Amino acid sequence: AERKRRVAAVIEEVERSLATPTALLRSIADAMVTEMERGLRGDIHAQLKMLISYVDNLPTGDEHGLFYALDLGGTNFRVLRVQLGGREKRVVKQQYEEVSIPPHLMVGTSMELFDFIAAALAKFVDTEGEDFHLPEGRQRELGFTFSFPVNQTSISSGTLIKWTKGFSINGAVGEDVVSELSRAMERQGLDMKVTALVNDTVGTLAGGRYNDNDVVAAVILGTGTNAAYVEHANAIPKWTGLLPKSGNMVSARTPYTWKTKVYATIVINTEWGSFKSDKLPLSEYDKIMDFESLNPGEQIYEKMISGMYLGEIVRRILLKLAHDASLFGDVVPPKLEQPFVLRTPDMSAMHHDSSHDLKILGSKLKDIVGIADTSLEVRYITRHICDLVAERGARLAAAGIYSILKKIGRDKVPNGESKMPRTVVALDGGLYEHYKKFSSCVEATLTDLLGEEASSSVVAKLANDGSGIGAALLAASHSQYA
């Protein structure tokens, strides 16, 4: 009974510290809008960098030819080739391969990392079949999706601002990632030109727009989290400074209609993962995880939401329950002490276990924590913790999406009009794609925040591997032969 009381006390404290009532989400969204505005003004202390992408036109559907894409941004990287057939034939053929990055390369030297990537790419190019056609005398072209914060200097160059998501490579910050990749490709004897460097959010936005003209924003919920959206040029005070050099960033082909005026638009990569606010429900588990992370004090919003961290937060709560309330018996399971042993896909499997005796959950606990024969009560408690952590992440993600819709005036029916324009948000990332309870909670919360009327015009759409195809499309529209 004493143990039960202690378990209940810890759970109650966890529930309290992870709570996200709708009113709180609204104030978080407001704070995020304020931070977006600061970023757009170029305030050096702004938390959201609001990076201006050099994508001067989103795909139109006319793109054609053979293009490659490479997506580096988390535990895996993907290589892809696509044969585009123009407006009529669209995507004629596409092939991709996924390669996991050996963990030691994520914290090694940038030369080793890029050599590994270029070697895998070269191997992939060798398997190019008859269905793909490169016109005589042309160089293969590549769209490079690089999902870390980059200060873009042109459509095909940019310097790394910082690593996130468990990457930590000395000497790469401040370097041009395209020249690093290009040099590595040369070392492999691979003749290929990077014609577009894009963030995964921008790639997803481009891929989403190719399939649906009403896509206004893209959100990644994978190992990390981030978002990009289409902003009015006149809402970006800091952009004027860049005008002479990159006046072509305006997308003339896809003007953005807002009320009766037509404004030029620009794709903004928010880098929202670095959002931080005292409104965020930051628990002791978050604080310690952050403190012990590779990037303490940074990416706070990302650490509450994304796939790299959710399982780890659950582990820390279970550990607390083991320590303070002997949840797993008199001894604390040693395996539970190990950071990151509980991965988000395992958390998801436990969370989705709907069998009457939570059998899957039980065997996961056995495999991961080393505790056989857990009681049904312990299993229920574990599932409840998964639920609390996933729900908080999903609701915070929905608040972020809501803040973008607010920023562009797509959160309510405009004054004097009867309906809001159809508004599509493209979503991608393994967390959103595979963690069903997470993605349904994102959608339900977004509907709740928008209200019935506005939410009937908003669609959240899974853009599966949108960033890969999007990068290939952007490589096409920025081709040296175009």
- Of 56, 71, 115, 200, the active-site residue reads 200
Cβ atoms of 281 and 345 within 8 Å: the answer is: no
Residues 429-448 that bind ligand ADP (CB under 6 A): 429-431, 434-435
Residues 158-217 that bind ligand ADP (CB under 6 A): none
Distance between CA atoms of residues 3 and 422, nearest Å: 53
- The one of Mg ion, ligand ADP, none whose footprint includes residue 345, by CB under 5 to 8 A per kind, is ligand ADP
- Token pair recorded at residue 329: 């018996």
Nearer to Mg ion by Cβ, of 203 and 393: the residue is: 203
Measured from the Cβ of residue 260, the count of other Cβ atoms closer than 10 Å reads 5
Nearer to ligand ADP by Cβ, of 225 and 265: the residue is: 225
- The one of ligand ADP, Mg ion, none whose footprint includes residue 431, by CB under 5 to 8 A per kind, is ligand ADP
Closest by CA to 312, choosing from 335, 338, 330, 294, is 338
- Closest contact distance (angstroms) between CB of 11 and ligand ADP is 23
- Token pair recorded at residue 22: 């709708």
- Closest contact distance (angstroms) between CB of 465 and Mg ion is 9
Q: Is 144 in the site for ligand ADP (CB under 6 A)?
A: no
Q: Is 470 in the site for ligand ADP (CB under 6 A)?
A: no
Binding residues vs Mg ion (CB under 5 A): 73, 200, 222
Distance between CA atoms of residues 155 and 200, nearest Å: 14
Nearer to ligand ADP by Cβ, of 178 and 308: the residue is: 308
- Of 53, 56, 71, 78, the active-site residue reads 78
Question: Is residue 78 among the annotated active site residues?
Answer: yes
Residue type at position 299: Q
Distance between CA atoms of residues 178 and 479, nearest Å: 15
Given 39, 59, 73, 207, the residue binding ligand ADP (CB under 6 A):
73
Cβ atoms of 156 and 195 within 8 Å: the answer is: yes
Given 199, 223, 269, 374, the residue binding ligand ADP (CB under 6 A):
223
Please identify, among the stretches 56-64, 67-75, 249-257, 445-453, the one whose residues bind ligand ADP according to the rule CB under 6 A. 67-75
CA angle, residues 220, 438, 375, in degrees to nearest 5: 140
- Token pair recorded at residue 352: 């989705």
- Closest contact distance (angstroms) between CB of 262 and ligand ADP is 35
Nearer to Mg ion by Cβ, of 80 and 385: the residue is: 80
Question: Is residue 147 among the annotated active site residues?
Answer: yes
Site string for ligand ADP, 304-323 (x = CB under 6 A): ---xx---------------
Q: What is each CA distance from 101 to 32, 74, 78, 313, in whole angstroms?
A: 33, 8, 10, 24
What single-letter DSSP state applies at residue 342?
S
Question: Is residue 343 among the annotated active site residues?
Answer: no
DSSP calls for 54-105: ---S---S--EEEEEEEEESSSEEEEEEEEEEHHHH-EEEEEEEEEEPPHHH
Q: Is 273 in the site for ligand ADP (CB under 6 A)?
A: no
Residues 413-432 that bind ligand ADP (CB under 6 A): 429-431
Sign of CA dihedral 238, 466, 473, 214: negative
Q: Is 20 in the site for ligand ADP (CB under 6 A)?
A: no
Q: What is the total residue count of the chain?
A: 482
Catalytic residues: 78, 147, 200
Residues contributing to the site for ligand ADP (CB under 6 A): 73-76, 147, 222-223, 307-308, 344-345, 348, 429-431, 434-435
